[in-house]
Chains A and B, each alone.
Chain A
């Protein structure tokens, strides 16, 4: 079988180029907006993704980390009894009201109470051992460098959290939160700042698993006998947090809305280009039809061309996106893409191409052999 669709596409590439570019830019737009949204909202899961804990246990149904409720110490016992768990560490989460010097007013802060041991799991990716040890000093805190202006206090400076005087002993990079300021402290400091529970209970316990242990299986086992708490693997808990924020803020709907717009615009441009290409070859198609080649077979030629345009456009779009994402990371713009997002964008791009092909097939109606007989 002569590959008419492919040969025509290669020979008349100039004619098909606008369609390919439309598909490529649709792909680029979809991928970049996904990367930005995941990048921005990924910071809501920074506690999970910047830590090396495999398992999180918290209040049942918790959708995002800042929505945690205190859980009892029974959770810790249940975790330690599981054969897959190597180590358990408490993680305290306290809502705080920061009062700095006059002029900054009150700032809503999230206090994370973490282990000060060198092998502490929470924020293992962003805190050095020395920084962690410095938190042993009572009422010492660490904040993100970028949050200092908001807090109005330099390193070494003091401020009030929930009425207690704390001191900034250091700064870290990569612990910025969405909707507030992250303050990292020791567990003891966090308990001291907690006015609600009086410091007897924490919101989370995290665990490191033994080598070879299956996180999903351990989470399921702990869940099975849990009362008043629930277990998640780190990745599923992070995903919960990101999705909660995306849809709570309406950004998720925005993403979907913009994806629809991109889809429609891309499909219109691509189908118009394809229709133009068909119109340019309509006499050849009509001749084939006269020779007995059915309209169904001719339609397949157009759809195959559309599919190739989709593949070529997708490759171009992905390469452009990779370049832009690399550039964005260099400039500290929060961008992040995961495999399902790549796959979803690729599927949408191929959808654009195929829907355009299906729309362009209409142009074949004019491939009536009678037009060749004058």
Chain B
């Protein structure tokens, strides 16, 4: 079953008299338990697509069904609640609060979900352990390397045990080794937690590790390749 189904998404911006179409009737379905990569040159609309699929932005036309729920039927608060319960986010910048230790960063969203402190701490420790930061739990962002910061950011999203995990250029600020760690972590999240991981990136390293690669250009999907399980060679499929 598809975790995310988008149909006929249209989105554009008007600047002065000029109308720019970002998405032109794009339809797409994303499967659970896979790392799906949206790749494409900058300005092709991939970040806009991500923000619509995650419910951050309402499209001009078209709809999104996420986990069987029409994402844009309710109001802003309903979408906030949906994101709180079901989604995790990782951005290019790590966006960690300078005042909080790694463990506190990870515990923070759980507090807003109504998880009690003790459970939140246990889950926070387990999640940091999973991303390989068990010995960095009590450090502030200023004391962490870039790769470690991104792993804290991943743990902060993962600790919510989301069904949908969105990542925007998660490796672009990282060196090769750290980028690889982040890629492996995202892949593991998809396969071990049966999470729908949707990643936007133009990092070629990610292409070889994704289960599915959607190539975007000019607001439409040009190419949809699925990589069979255990196979790193991409297999061509017709565009949706």
Residues of A within 8 A of B (CB): 1-2, 4, 7-8, 10-12, 281, 283-284, 286-295, 297, 369-370, 372-374
Establish whether residues B98 and A12, one from each chain, have CB atoms under 8 Å apart when the complex forms. Answer: yes
Could you tell me the distance in whole angstroms from the C-beta of B128 to the nearest C-beta in chain A? Answer: 14
Looking at the complex, which one of B48, B82, B89, B98 makes contact with A290 (CB distance below 8 Å)?
Answer: B89
Question: Does B168 interact with chain A (Cβ within 8 Å)?
Answer: yes
Establish whether residues B51 and A291, one from each chain, have CB atoms under 8 Å apart when the complex forms. Answer: no
| A2-B51 contact given A292-B83, A369-B56, CB 8 Å threshold | no
Establish whether residues B97 and A8, one from each chain, have CB atoms under 8 Å apart when the complex forms. Answer: yes
Q: A287-B89, A288-B108, A291-B160 given; name 10 further pairs at CB < 8 Å.
A: A1-B111, A4-B100, A7-B99, A283-B95, A287-B153, A292-B87, A292-B112, A370-B57, A372-B91, A373-B56
Most buried by B among A8, A12, A283, A292: A292
| A283-B89 contact given A294-B80, A369-B51, A374-B47, CB 8 Å threshold | no
* B residues less than 8 Å from A295 (CB atoms): 80
14 A-B interface contacts by CB (under 8 A) = A1-B111, A4-B97, A7-B104, A11-B98, A284-B97, A291-B88, A291-B89, A291-B156, A292-B80, A292-B87, A294-B80, A373-B48, A374-B47, A374-B168
Establish whether residues A281 and B97, one from each chain, have CB atoms under 8 Å apart when the complex forms. Answer: yes
Interface size, chain B (Cβ < 8 Å): 41
* A residues less than 8 Å from B108 (CB atoms): 2, 4, 288
B107-165 interface (Cβ within 8 A of A): 107-109, 111-112, 117, 140, 153, 156-157, 160
Establish whether residues A372 and B156, one from each chain, have CB atoms under 8 Å apart when the complex forms. Answer: no
Could you tell me the distance in whole angstroms from the C-beta of A275 to the nearest C-beta in chain B? Answer: 18
Establish whether residues A291 and B84, one from each chain, have CB atoms under 8 Å apart when the complex forms. Answer: yes
Question: Does B234 interact with chain A (Cβ within 8 Å)?
Answer: no
Looking at the complex, which one of B111, B160, B169 makes contact with A2 (CB distance below 8 Å)?
Answer: B111
Establish whether residues B91 and A292, one from each chain, have CB atoms under 8 Å apart when the complex forms. Answer: no
Establish whether residues B92 and A374, one from each chain, have CB atoms under 8 Å apart when the complex forms. Answer: yes
* A residues less than 8 Å from B205 (CB atoms): none
Could you tell me the distance in whole angstroms from the C-beta of B92 to the nearest C-beta in chain A? Answer: 7
* CA gap between A299 and B83 in the complex, in Å: 18
| A2-B93 contact given A291-B157, A292-B82, A292-B87, CB 8 Å threshold | no
* CA gap between A295 and B89 in the complex, in Å: 17
Instruction: Across the A-B interface, give the 7 residue pairs with the lowest CB-CB distance, nearest first.
Output: A292-B84, A11-B99, A292-B83, A1-B111, A287-B95, A373-B47, A7-B99
* CA gap between A4 and B109 in the complex, in Å: 11
Question: Does B73 interact with chain A (Cβ within 8 Å)?
Answer: no
